[in-house]
Structure 1
Amino acid sequence: MSDQSYVDELDQVTATMQAYIEGGRAGKSAVLQPAFHADANICGYVGPDLFCGPIQGFYDWHDENGPAPGLQARIASIDIAGTAASVRVDMDDWTGHRFTDFFNLVKVDGRWQILSKVFYLHP
Structure 2
Amino acid sequence: MTEVNHSADSRLIKALMETYVEGGRTGSVDTLRPIFHDLATICGYVGPDLFAQPIEQFYDWHQENGPAADLEAGDIQVDIEGTAATVRIELDNWTGHRFTDFFTLVRIDGRWQIMSKVFYLHPE
Sort the TM-score into its range (normalised by shorter chain): over 0.9
Query: Tell me, what secondary structure is at the counterpart of 1:12?
Result: helix
**Letter paired with 1:56:** E
Q: TM-score normalized by structure 2?
A: 0.96
CA deviation profile, 1:43-97 (whole Å, cap 9, x unmatched): 0000010000100000000011001111000234110000000000100000101
Conserved in 2, the CA contact under 8 Å of 1:75 and 1:87? no
Q: How far is the alpha carbon of 1:28 from its aligned partner?
A: 1.7
Does the residue aligned with 1:115 lie in a helix, a strand or coil? strand
> Structure 1 counterpart of 2:43, which letter?
C
Instruction: Out of 67-76 and 55-64, give the one that drifted further.
Output: 67-76
- Give me the TM-score of the superposition, normalised by structure 1: 0.97
In the alignment, what sits opposite 1:65? Answer: 65
User: Is the counterpart of residue 88 in structure 1 residue 88 in structure 2?
Assistant: yes
Gaps of at least 5 residues in structure 1 are none
Question: What is the CA-CA distance between 1:117 and the residue it aligns to?
Answer: 0.3
Structure 1 pair 46–95 and aligned structure 2 pair: CA distance change class (3 A): same
The letter for the 2-side match of 1:57 is Q
Instruction: Give the distance between the partners of 1:84 and 1:54, measured in 2 at CA.
Output: 20
Contact 2:14 2:76 in 1 (8 A): no
Structure 2 gap ranges (5+): none
Alignment of 1:1-123 (within 5 A): 1-123=1-123
Instruction: Give runs of ≥4 in structure 1 deviating > 6 Å.
Output: none
* 3-state SS of 1:67 partner: coil
Structure 2 counterpart SS, 1:85 = strand
- 1:29 maps to a residue whose letter is V
**AA of the residue aligned to 2:33:** Q
Kindly provide the amino acid, as one letter, of the partner of residue 78 in structure 2.
Answer: I
Using the alignment, how far apart are the partners of 1:25 and 1:82 within structure 2? 31
Q: CA RMSD in A?
A: 0.8
